[in-house]
Amino acid sequence: MAGFRNLLLLHLLIVVFALGLTEAAETEGDGDEGQVYIVYMGHLSVESGTSEADGGLSAVQVAHHNMLEQVLDGSLASDRIIHSYKRSLNGFAARLTEQEAQTLYTNDGVVSVFPSRTHQLLTTRSWDLLGFP
């Protein structure tokens, strides 16, 4: 019986420790970086292509990094950019403060800057929702 209690206590400690780690990881990213913004720069020109340039980055990604580094105060763009959209549209998603987003919006070539939002799914079974068999 004592072995069962020790095993139960060990499992409980592991769960509490894991919850503490996830809480620390969630609050760690809430510093000065702000929230995720999507920077839309219009359509992608045919010449820009996706061939790799510096360090395995495409020419479009290099342009995104260069634009963001002009706005950031000593922070690396590679630490802030989450995704570069380089196939059908020109833009990127990055973790920015509201001030950085406003400054980026004033740059030439930027069409819009808006906060990224996560939408809740209304259904995962569309056929059932529509009444199809």
Quickly state the pLDDT bin for 28 (edges 50, 70, 90).
very low
The string of pLDDT tens digits covering residues 29-66 is 444 568 999 999 988 765 555 555 555 678 888 989 99
Amino acid residing at 61: Q
> Is the confidence at residue 97, as pLDDT, over 90?
yes
Nearest alpha carbon to residue 96 among 87, 88, 107 = 107
pLDDT of residue 57: 76
User: CA 20: distance to chain centroid?
Assistant: 23
Report d(CA 87, CA 127) in Å as an integer.
31
Q: How many CA atoms lie within 13 A of 24 on its CB side?
A: 6
pLDDT of residue 74: 75
* pTM check: above 0.75: no
pLDDT of residue 133: 61
Enclosing H/E stretch for 17: helix 2-28
| Cβ neighbour number for residue 39 with a 10 Å cutoff | 27
Q: Give the chain's mean pLDDT.
A: 77
